[in-house]
Structure 1
Amino acid sequence: MASKCNLTVNGRTVRASVGETLVDAAMGGWIAVPHDCCSGQCETCRVRVVSGAVDDQGTGEGDTVLACQATLEGDAVITYDEVPEATKRSGQVAAMRALSHDVVEVVVELRSPLDYLPGQYVSVTFAGFPPRDYSPTLRWDGTRAAHELVFHIRMLPDGIVSSELGRSIMPGHRVDVRGPFGHAFFRRGDGLMVLVAGGTGWAPIWAVAREAVRARPRRDIIVIAGARDLDGLYMRHSLDWLRDHGAREVIATAQQGGGGLVRSGRPTNYLPLLGPSDMVYVAGAPGLVDAVKLKALSAGAFCFADPFLPSQQRMSFMNRMARLLRTPGRTPVPQDAGLFAPQMAGMDDAGRLPAARPASRPAARRPLQETLFAARRLMRRE
């Protein structure tokens, strides 16, 4: 039998087993540690280890680890930033317009607003198509209605979803949105903020930049946006706005071309010297993200990035719950839904929940499927 230990998460302590991942241990005590892919890729579950015995399983960055991979070696204390609960919303495509030859702005009008932090991402499902992850952003002038989500989507010739924008996906098309997720959301602070974007990585960076200017107008901010060519710099109007509203430095780069306010090369060529009090946000191609993270972490700076995953790499939350509920000795599903993981909201693709089971029936005698149904019922948040 595995040795037992205590895990304290944001001040709440649960009993866990040595060798469990932090996510599994927290969920075993009905504590919601935000997570999404559960494969060590998306960064949503990055937490800070305050003290204790934790094996980071190769995911350590400073005093942080990925909770879906890191395992307990003994008692431990961890913390994470509180974020809005993941939930499900429905709506329709309200508008579409080209931002460049291969980038389109898609505005989704929701039936009710979705709460998220600037820099987070959501899972978007256009009816009849597989889900894709996109970061909500703002129009070039910084506007967005409360019930709208604005996305920047690169159109790929062989893209299952993006190639249909403006064809079978038109204004009026039904859309389901699930989220928010992600670790790279805006955080307040006094140190230098460096924002780096490549291509449509500008979407989350623009959202973070606007919030940073609004929250602390005099904060030092350096913005670096890059593209393959001049046409790819579709965000130039937004860069102009940042220049006019106090950003210390705004740099646009192009690998092909340049001149005027556009410098030749890659965003990494223009990173400033970084220090331990600086915050770096990066979004874009994996090569750019990895290069910026390496430089930031080498300097001791904070670095936030949310790489997106192909859908086939994702491990569903229900599969993870099934594995947990097969573990002997787990506490039965509690009657207080408020302590459970927010990612369960709306797990039925049709938005339906099964009928509630009689409360008097002992949880220990429920078959696994029935227990999962009960978990779905308890986690209904909308």
Structure 2
Amino acid sequence: MLTTRSRQGPNTAHINGRPITVAPDETLLQAALREGIAFPHSCRVGGCANCKCKLAEGKVKELTETTYILSDEELDQGFILACQSVPRSDVRIEVDLAGAVPRQQVSGKVVGQSKLTHDITRLQVQLDTPLDYQAGQFADISIGSLPSISRSYSFATPPQADGRVEFFVRKVPGGVFSTAINERELIGETVRVDGPAGDFWLREGRTPLLLVAGGSGLAPILALLQQAAQDGCSRPVALLFGARTERDLYALDEIEAIRRSWRGDFRFVPVLSEAGPNDGWAGERGLVTDHLQRHLADGADVYLCGPPVMIDTAEKRLQRGGVGPKRIHADRFLTRQDTPAKSQPARQAAPVLPKTSAANDAGLFDYLKYFLFHGIAMLAVLCILAGGQYTTYGLLTVLGFYFIGDAIAGDDLSTPNYRHPGILTVQLWLALPLLSLIVFSAVWSVSPGDPLGFGAMISGLSGIDVLALRNATGIGHHVSAILLTGLMIGMIGTITAHELTHRTWDPISMLVGRWLLAFSFDTVFAIEHVYGHHRYVSTEHDPATAPRGRNVYYHVLASTIMSNVSAWKIEKRRLQRRGYGLFSYHNAFLRGHLMSVLLLLGAWYIGGPVAAGFFTLCALWGKALLEIVNYMEHYGMVRNPETPVQPRHSWNTTRRISSWSMFNLTRHSHHHAQGEVPYQDLKPFPDAPTMVGGYLTTILVAMIPPLWHALMTPKVLAWDRDYATEEERQLAKRANQRSGISRLRAAA
């Protein structure tokens, strides 16, 4: 029996029977990796579930909410996230470590580079020392001429005693790394290989095998088959290889060599999806997933490797055909723009920690530029206290700063390496006292008397009679104060809270973020956005994603109502899973709205009903700004909710002023592709779908519906043509038919 009493000192975790010591406040994953256990993991922040494991005995403290990440079945079985679980007693953990190999970094040189197809290159690398891996796994590779970029590719051969490895690299439009591999002469170039990673390898057994590959997804399938052939495998095999046209087929000689050496039945079935009637192709046609059932033997284990749409379609059809999830093994090849080596790529199974160049380290200015945000906040305070025309001038100055600044200051494509992220976190926390000062000043400006002696204090410090200035302020300038304060609630409050409430493992950030959201009556954002929006973004299930043709003003109302409904459902499910009462202190939905009620009562206490009404208008305007931003960030996007979110599913901008003063909210494409990445590490993705301008410029355009649709309809059609997958194009056609916009309907 394990010790189950809670204690302050170290605890013992038995991982598959192996005891390790877990220090106080250390997560299970941190302890396992420290002890040299090749524990499966990826993001380390509770966003991917790669580190899920079964808590067989003992107690843990969970640092983030797992009811969103884990399924009901997994929760019922006692699964937890190792990266978010701190033992509160001795614990016994069960996790699948079969075939796991410790990750390491190995250097080498490019010794071979040859074209397999018009857009896929075979890259051969001679490593300085052999790397141990399972055939089917992948690694992160970088080359000497692009030291700051790392990409994930599967090994195309099984491990070799001489340390030679191969990768198949498909050229991605706009991809710096893949373009270099496909178009530049790299023989002799230094290479760093960081791996292995992933859990895609052949499990032992005697059952038949169905292997399905699409595009460059053939690489791990080839490695897996070559290893199995060397081991004398005799299991019946059906290999389906999907390609567009005959020129996209490759490695046919290698497949034939495997077939000849295979000790059992081996069938190879190439399938072309775009073969023309006069191409002379005598083989199978259509999508490779259309041919699964015909080649699926009874009791077969299935291995899938290729693009997400192929994987998702195959899994659905296989499960409908009676193939259980445990018999399906998949490796999704996600296409995205090149990501710097220190971030987690789409298929990465552990963080890359390369040697970074000192030249790319953040300098003083890189830290100071984010204080532009705080300067704008203080300008708003000064203009509100000055009253009268100065309040209106302040509003116009802020708007002009963004409109003109974004128009003339160009784009920010920098990606410095921040070695002191704690400074940037404090910058975020400072938003709460700043916003409190802004809102208090605004409420004070319409209150009778001098609440808390605030005006007398400011007058004494400045020598300016702010009470007289306030009393001389007319109604028009008070309207300017509402617009300016609401704008600050949206910028200083919601934008900062957006970043902080993604840090679900940090209680201080969560507390500060929720109070910032309370100023716009929108604390449910911390629930719905993190656990709803990021799951269903760009689908019909997401309240914040505006369908094509929707009016922005209708969207503000509809999204507000439906987001609250969604947050209530998410919180209700969480409470039920935890065994808490719906109407109890544990209900974060109700607690959040009570925070806003407290602020409203505070405004009433300061200045009576007029002040409370004034604050309400400011808060609602701040909330409306959030929904307008939601409207413009994902307008018209479509996605199958069962496929991963990609950079193409958000409208992006790289405008410099918006980026610096909004904590890189502008880099929305990367944010949605990897929601756990902190704002300073988000990448610009200049090739992602692009907004009409900077953030405030786009907000203004969105508020003029005829102008919005005139500018965005061509962009939406271009998205369908240049970014959407074939499945998404079908979804787009249906969206166009329902849009009510003649040009979109004509495209359907």
Matched, 1:270 2:295: no
Following the alignment from structure 2 to structure 1, what is the Cα–Cα distance between the partners of residues 168 and 86? 40
* Secondary structure, counterpart of 1:115 in structure 2: coil
Which residue, out of 250, 255, 266, partners 2:273?
255
Matched, 1:189 2:210: no
What is the TM-score when the length of structure 2 is the normalising length?
A: 0.38
Following the alignment from structure 1 to structure 2, what is the Cα–Cα distance between the partners of residues 113 and 224? 31
Higher radius of gyration, 1 or 2: 2
* Secondary structure, counterpart of 1:131 in structure 2: strand
Unpaired runs of at least 5, structure 2: 61-65, 358-418, 421-748
Q: Which has the higher strand share?
A: 1
Change (3 A) 1:347 1:155: closer
Which residue, out of 282, 292, 295, partners 2:314?
292
Kept in 1, the 8 Å contact 2:200–2:329? The answer is yes
Change (3 A) 1:14 1:113: closer
Following the alignment from structure 1 to structure 2, what is the Cα–Cα distance between the partners of residues 274 and 40? 36
Change (3 A) 1:346 1:295: same
Matched, 1:97 2:119: no
Which residue, out of 156, 169, 172, partners 2:172?
156
Matched, 1:10 2:26: no
Q: CA deviation at 1:30?
A: 6.9
Matched, 1:305 2:325: no
Aligned residues: 323
Please name the residue that 1:365 is paired with.
none
Deviation by residue 1:291-346 (Cα, 9 ceiling, x = unmatched): 233444562142222335656599769xxxxxxxxxxxxxxxxxxxxxxxx96997
* Secondary structure, counterpart of 1:304 in structure 2: strand
Change (3 A) 1:71 1:278: farther
Change (3 A) 1:41 1:242: farther
* Secondary structure, counterpart of 1:268 in structure 2: helix
Aligned residues: percent identity?
26
Please name the residue that 1:326 is paired with.
none
Matched, 1:283 2:305: yes
Deviation by residue 1:241-280 (Cα, 9 ceiling, x = unmatched): 3443344432111101176663101221122386995422
Matched, 1:235 2:265: no
* Secondary structure, counterpart of 1:305 in structure 2: strand
Following the alignment from structure 1 to structure 2, what is the Cα–Cα distance between the partners of residues 41 and 252? 36
Please name the residue that 2:152 is paired with.
133
What is the TM-score when the length of structure 1 is the normalising length?
A: 0.69
Change (3 A) 1:149 1:296: same
Q: How does 1:212-227 map to 2 (within 5 A)?
A: 212-227=228-243
Change (3 A) 1:101 1:145: farther
Following the alignment from structure 1 to structure 2, what is the Cα–Cα distance between the partners of residues 51 and 275? 36
Following the alignment from structure 2 to structure 1, what is the Cα–Cα distance between the partners of residues 38 and 300? 29
Please name the residue that 2:691 is paired with.
none
Change (3 A) 1:117 1:31: closer
Which is bigger in relative contact order (C-alpha 8 A, separation at least 6)?
1
* Secondary structure, counterpart of 2:206 in structure 1: coil
Following the alignment from structure 1 to structure 2, what is the Cα–Cα distance between the partners of residues 208 and 30? 26
* Secondary structure, counterpart of 2:202 in structure 1: coil
Following the alignment from structure 1 to structure 2, what is the Cα–Cα distance between the partners of residues 42 and 206? 27
Q: CA deviation at 1:186?
A: 2.4
Q: CA deviation at 1:223?
A: 1.0
Change (3 A) 1:101 1:263: same
Q: CA deviation at 1:145?
A: 6.5
* Secondary structure, counterpart of 1:195 in structure 2: strand
Kept in 1, the 8 Å contact 2:140–2:194? The answer is yes
* Secondary structure, counterpart of 1:161 in structure 2: helix
Q: CA deviation at 1:84?
A: 2.0
Q: CA deviation at 1:225?
A: 0.9
Q: How does 1:1-382 map to 2 (within 5 A)?
A: 7-13=13-19, 23-24=29-30, 26-27=32-33, 31-38=37-44, 45=50, 49=54, 51=56, 57-59=68-70, 67=81, 75-79=91-95, 80-129=97-146, 130-138=149-157, 146-165=162-181, 167-244=183-260, 245=262, 246-257=264-275, 262-272=283-293, 278-296=300-318, 299-300=323-324, 301-308=326-333, 312=339, 348-349=355-356
Change (3 A) 1:161 1:315: closer
Kept in 1, the 8 Å contact 2:30–2:83? The answer is no
Please name the residue that 1:359 is paired with.
none
Q: CA deviation at 1:194?
A: 1.7
Kept in 2, the 8 Å contact 1:123–1:178? The answer is yes
Kept in 1, the 8 Å contact 2:48–2:69? The answer is no
Please name the residue that 1:354 is paired with.
none
* Secondary structure, counterpart of 1:107 in structure 2: strand
- Using the TM superposition, name which of 100-109 and 64-73 deviates more: 64-73
- Using the TM superposition, name which of 253-262 and 78-87 deviates more: 253-262
Q: Which has the higher helix share?
A: 2
